[in-house]
A and B are shown apart, each in its own frame.
Chain A
Amino acid sequence: MELGGWGVLIAVLGGAARVSVPYLFVSLGETLTERSGRVNLGLEGTLVLGAMSGYGVAYLSGSPWLGVLVAGSAGALLGLVHGLVCSLPRVNDVAVGIALFLLGTGLAFYLGKPFIQPTAPRLPHLELGAWSASPAVRAALEINALFIAGALLAPLLAWALFNTRWGLVLRTAGDNADAARALGYSVSAIRTASTTAGGFLAGVGGSFLSLYYPGTWNEGLSSGQGLMAIALVIFARWHPVHCFWVSLLFGGATALGPALQSIGITGHYYLLNAAPYVLTLILLILSSSPRQVLVGAPSELTISR
C-alpha cells in the first residue's frame, strides 16, 4: 500500500515519538541542573558514554534494563565530576562542560571499541499499531517503554519542582544563592546533587540511542542531540512539561529527512539532516532577547546573563 504524503506525515509523527526520547531525557536532566543555577554543557559526552555503557552491559548481561541502569549511573558519575569540579572557587561551569564533553566522548570511544560488532538485546516497545495492515503505520506506532517513562517523568518533575520543599530549595539555589545559604542550605551540595541527577537522566537518554533507536553502538551514534537538548531547555523556558513538547518538535524535525527519503525524495539529504540544528538556532534567536533576562531563567545561571 502506498501512503505517499500521508506516509511522510505518519513517519514524521512516529519518528517524533522515537527520536525525541534522547532530547527529552537530556533536557529534563539539564532543566534540573540549570534550575539549581549551573550549566552542564557536557551532556553530549554523557549521552555518548551512556549509549556505550548501556549497550556494553546489555550485551554482556543480556538484560537491556540493566544496561539502562548502568548508562544512568555512568552519566551520574560524569555529572558528579562536573558538580564537584565546579564547586571549586573560580571554576567556570560552561568550560568544564566542554571539557567533560571531550572526556565523555573519549571514554566512550575508548571503552566501546569491543562493542561495535556484537548485537545487544533491545528495549521492549508497545505495538499500538497492530490493528493496521500498513507496515508504515505499524512502525510509526511502536511506542518504546522509555518514551512512556519520559512522558510520565516530565509532569512529575514539574510537580516536584514547583510544589515540594525539595523543589523550592533547588530553585532557591538557582535564583538566589545567598537566600539559600541564609536558610542554612549548602548551595554547592544542592547544585552537585542536581548535576548528578541531570547526568543520570542524560545517561538514560543515551542508552535509548544504542538499545532502541537506531539500536546499535557506533561512534557516530549521537550527532549533537545532547547539545541541542541544552539549547532546547532555553526554548522550553526551564519547564519540564515544555521540554516534553519541544522534544517532540525536535524529534519530528530530525525524522523529516529520513521520512522524505523513504518516499524517494533523496536530494538534499545532508541539508535535511541539518534541519534540527537550523531549527534550534532559529528558536534560540527568536527566544533570546538583547535587553532583559529571559522569562523563567534562573537568575544565578551563567549562560543567560
Chain B
Amino acid sequence: MRLGAWAETAVITAAALVSSLALFGVFVALRGLSPVQVYLTLFQGAFGTRFSLEHTLTQAAPLMLTALCTALPARAGLLVIGGEGALVIGGVVTVLVGVSLAGAPPVLAIAAMCAAGALGGGLWIGAAGALRHWRGVNETISTLLLNYIAIALMNHLVTGPIRDFAQVLKPASWSVGESLMIGVLPGTSIHWGLAFGVAACLVTWVLMRHTTFGFGVDILGGNARAARMVGLPIGAMILATTMLGGAAAGLAGAVEVIAVHGFASASLAVGYGYTGILVAFLARQNPLAVVAVAVLLGGISASGGLLQRRFGLPDAATLVLQGLLFVAVLAANTLAGRFRIFRPRTV
C-alpha cells in the first residue's frame, strides 16, 4: 500500500497538531506566558527525563486500551464513547474475582482477574452494540449514559457492599492483596500494563488487517448497504467489535487495579476513557497508530503537574490543549483526499 495514503494521513495529522499547538500558544500568551517556554516545559515534563518518560509511558498504557474501545467499533461505523464506564466495570469485576480467589496460585488468579475484567467491559459495551443492532438505540448516547451508570454502580459498591473500612482517606473496595499485584518492567518503574496495551493494539491490528473478519468489518464501516448486499453477518460483527472494544477498556480497568491501585475506588474514573476517544480519533482508528498517539497524549497528561508547578497553570490546561487538538483533528478531516500528490497515478 499505499504509501501515499500513509503520507497523506501523516501530513494532515501533523497540520492539525501544529495548528492546535499554535492556538494553545495564543491561549497561554494571553495569560502573559511565553508559549515557547510552556512548550519546552511540556516537552520536558513528558519526555525530557528518564523519570518523566517513565511517567508518560505509565499514563499511555490505559490510553491504548481505552482508545481501542472507540477505534474498534468505529471500523464498523459505530461511534462508541463508553470507554470510561467499561474501564470502571472492568476494575470492579477484577477486584471481585481477585478477592474471591485469595489463596489461589498468583499466576492463575491474575490471569483470571484480567479475563474477568475484559469480560466485564466486553459485556458492558457489547450490550450497547446489541441494543444498537436489535433496537436501533444510538450507541453514542447509550454508551455515554452507561459511563455514568458504571460510575454510580462503582460508588455504590465501594461505599457499601464491598467497602474496606481500613481505607480511611476515601471510600475504596477491599484490596486484592500484594501477591496479586503485577510488578514493573525489569529495570524501569513502568508497570506491565504497557505491555498489555501494546500487545492488545498489535493483536487488533493483525485482526483488522489480516483476517477476513477485519476485512468484512471495514466493508461494513465503509458502506452498510454494501455489507448487507454481500450477505455479511452484520449483527455478529457489531456485537464482536463492541465486545472486543469493551474488553480492551475492561482490561485497562483490570490493569489499573492489579498494577496501580490494588483496589477499586473513584480513582479509576479519572478520564482515561475520555482521553482514549481522542487517541482513537487522532490515530484515525488505526491500532498501530494508537500506540504512538497514546504515548503523545500520555505525555501531555503527564506534564500537567510540571506546568502547574512552574507556571501556575491550572491542571485543566492539558484538558484545554487536548480539546483544541481534538477539534483541529476533526476539522482537518476535510482535507482528506484534497491533495492530488498523495493519490496513486491512474491510467
Contacts and interface: CB of A to CB of B under 8 A. Distances in A.
Interface stretch (B40-48, B101-109, B128-136, B180-188): B128-136
B314 A103 contact: no
A227 B145 contact: yes
Contact of A291 (B136, B142, B156): B136
B292 interface: no
B326 A103 contact: yes
Nearest to B154: A270
Nearest to B319: A106
A102 B281 contact: no
A224 B317 CA distance: 21
Contact of A224 (B148, B322, B324): B148
A53 interface: no
Given A231-B145, A270-B159, A277-B149, A98 B81 contact: yes
A281 interface: yes
Nearest to B147: A224
B330 A277 contact: no
A223 B319 contact: no
A104 to B, nearest CB: 7
Contacts, number: 142
Given A271-B152, A273-B152, A109 B330 contact: no
Contact of A102 (B144, B148, B322): B322
Interface string B303-324: 0000000000111110111111
B319 A274 contact: no
Interface in B282-310: none
A231 B141 contact: yes
B323 A89 contact: no
Contact of B322 (A104, A106, A278, A290): A106
A245 to B, nearest CB: 20
B327 interface: yes
B136 A109 contact: no
Contacts of A109: 314-316, 319
Contacts of B314: 109-110, 113
Given A274-B148, A280-B145, A102 B334 contact: no
Contacts of A106: 316, 319-323
Nearest to A275: B152
Contacts of B148: 223-224, 274, 277
A110 B315 CA distance: 7
Contacts of B277: 98
Contacts of A274: 148-149, 152-153, 156
Contact of A110 (B133, B317, B326, B334): B317
B146 interface: yes
A88 B333 CA distance: 9
Contacts of A85: 327, 330-331
A89 B334 contact: yes
Interface in B258-283: 274, 277-278, 281
Nearest to A110: B316
A288 B330 CA distance: 28
Contacts of B317: 110
B137 interface: yes
A303 B142 CA distance: 12
Interface string A94-106: 1110111011111
Contacts of A94: 79, 140
A89 B338 CA distance: 11
A303 B316 contact: no
> Which DSSP category, helix, strand, loop or mixed, fits chain B's interface?
helix
B336 interface: yes
Contacts of A269: 156, 159
B52 interface: no
A284 B320 contact: no
Residue picked from B145, B149, B313, B322, most chain A C-beta under 10 Å = B145
Interface string A263-287: 0000111110110011011001100
Interface in B108-139: 131, 133-138
A143 interface: no
A165 interface: no
Contacts of A96: 327, 330-331
A231 B133 CA distance: 18
B333 to A, nearest CB: 5
A271 B155 CA distance: 8
Nearest to B326: A99
A210 B291 CA distance: 40
A81 interface: yes
A99 B140 contact: no
Interface string A113-128: 1000000000000000
A92 interface: yes
| Those 9 A-B pairs whose CB atoms lie nearest each other, nearest first | A103-B323, A106-B319, A274-B152, A109-B316, A99-B326, A88-B334, A270-B156, A270-B155, A110-B316
Interface of A: 41, 81, 85, 88-92, 94-96, 98-100, 102-107, 109-110, 113, 223-224, 227-228, 230-231, 234, 267-271, 273-274, 277-278, 280-281, 284-285, 288-291, 303-304
Interface of B: 79, 81, 131, 133-138, 140-142, 144-146, 148-149, 152-153, 155-156, 159-160, 274, 277-278, 281, 313-317, 319-324, 326-327, 329-331, 333-334, 336-337
25 contacts: A41-B140, A88-B331, A88-B333, A88-B334, A91-B331, A91-B334, A95-B281, A96-B330, A99-B330, A102-B274, A102-B319, A105-B319, A107-B320, A109-B314, A109-B316, A109-B319, A224-B145, A227-B141, A269-B159, A270-B152, A274-B148, A274-B153, A281-B142, A281-B149, A303-B138
